[in-house]
């Protein structure tokens, strides 16, 4: 959550942004270094797929390079960057829907070709105490996240994991602040139901938390 965010003073260094905007290569490189992890994690949580996350991150930063000079208000940089990332995420999602009709969530658990994550998580109930290693828990929660609609997922990730303010999310998605809050509400509500359905209770997680 909050502790996952990089140092705020570094991220919001207006001087750095200004230098990057004027074409300073070092400053631009610095920006990429600072934000790459955030954008990658945002898209990774959105897709639950490393390759897609890499692709979106690359495209996002290429676009940032090209268009940074057109950014009028440096203070808007954060939401501006997420706007780019969200747009590429949506684009990839559309492509995926047209090319592959099966979403990742629909893979039957235990199928051989599917990544190991599914197998391990399907075997969770056999011996929970041993199998709740951290990555596996993360994958489990990630699966829950994938069950939300894309709209809710965007908002939940931005709020919960990226720590954006509602105002910033509204700015990034170009919808009203109330819409964002509403999506967040239903997103959390939906997650609650999904967690219950998957029987991930406080007791089950208590080991980790």
Partner 1 sequence: MNYKPDEGTLMAYLYGELDAAETERVEQYLQQHPQVQEQLHQLSTVRKRMGALNDVEVIAPPVFVDHEQRSIPFWKEGYFKITMGIAASFLFLLIAARLIGPEVTYSNGELRISFNDTPKKTTQEQLLTTNEVQQMINSSLVKNNETIAANWEESNQKIQESLQRNLNTNSARIDKLVSGVSAASQDQVRTFVAGMQEENLKLMKDYFQLSAKDQQVYVENLLVDFTKYLHEQRKQDLMLFQTRMNSIEKNTDQFKQETEQILASIISNPEGTIRKVNNY
Of positions 67, 149, 150, 185, contacts partner 1 by CB under 8 A: 185
Site for partner 1 contains 37 (CB under 8 A): yes
Site for partner 1 contains 161 (CB under 8 A): yes
Of positions 22, 125, 138, 199, contacts partner 1 by CB under 8 A: 138
Retrieve residue 35's tokens: 């934000």
How many residues interact with partner 1 (rule CB under 8 A)?
Answer: 48
Site for partner 1 contains 182 (CB under 8 A): yes
Of positions 11, 19, 49, 65, contacts partner 1 by CB under 8 A: 65
Site for partner 1 contains 61 (CB under 8 A): yes
Residues whose CB falls within 8 Å of the CB of residue 144, separated by 6 or more in sequence, listed in order: 191, 194, 195, 198, 200
Site for partner 1 contains 117 (CB under 8 A): no
**3-state SS record for 49-88:** CHHHHHHHHHHHHHHHHHHHHHCCCHHHHHHHHHHHHHHH
Long-range contacts, stretch 48-57, CB < 8 angstroms, 24+ apart: 48/104, 48/142, 48/143, 48/145, 48/146, 49/104, 52/92, 52/96, 55/88, 55/92, 56/85, 56/88, 56/89, 56/92, 57/85
Site for partner 1 contains 96 (CB under 8 A): no
Which residues of this chain interact with partner 1, rule CB under 8 A?
1, 4, 25, 28-29, 32-33, 36-37, 40-41, 44-45, 50, 58, 61-62, 65-66, 134, 137-138, 141-142, 144-145, 156, 159-161, 165-166, 177-178, 181-182, 184-185, 188-189, 191-192, 195, 200, 202, 205, 208-209
């Amino acid at each position: 959550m909050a502790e996952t965010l990089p140092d705020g003073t570094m991220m919001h260094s207006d001087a750095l942004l200004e230098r990057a905007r004027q074409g300073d290569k070092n400053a631009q490189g610095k920006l990429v270094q600072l934000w790459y992890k955030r954008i990658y994690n945002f898209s990774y949580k959105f897709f639950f797929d490393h390759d897609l996350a890499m692709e979106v991150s690359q495209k996002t930063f290429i676009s940032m390079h090209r268009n940074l000079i057109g950014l009028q208000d440096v203070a808007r940089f954060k939401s501006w960057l997420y706007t780019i990332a969200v747009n590429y995420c949506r684009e990839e999602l559309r492509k995926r829907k047209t090319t592959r009709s099966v979403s990742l969530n629909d893979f039957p658990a235990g199928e051989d070709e599917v990544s190991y994550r599914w197998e391990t998580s399907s075997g969770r109930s056999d011996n929970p105490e041993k199998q709740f290693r951290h990555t596996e828990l993360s994958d489990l929660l990630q699966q829950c996240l994938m069950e939300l609609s894309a709209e809710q997922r965007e908002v939940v990730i931005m709020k919960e994991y990226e720590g954006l303010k509602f105002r910033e999310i509204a700015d990034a998605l170009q919808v009203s602040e109330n819409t964002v809050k509403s999506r967040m509400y239903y997103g959390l509500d939906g997650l609650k139901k999904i967690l219950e359905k998957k029987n991930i209770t406080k007791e089950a997680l208590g080991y980790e938390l």
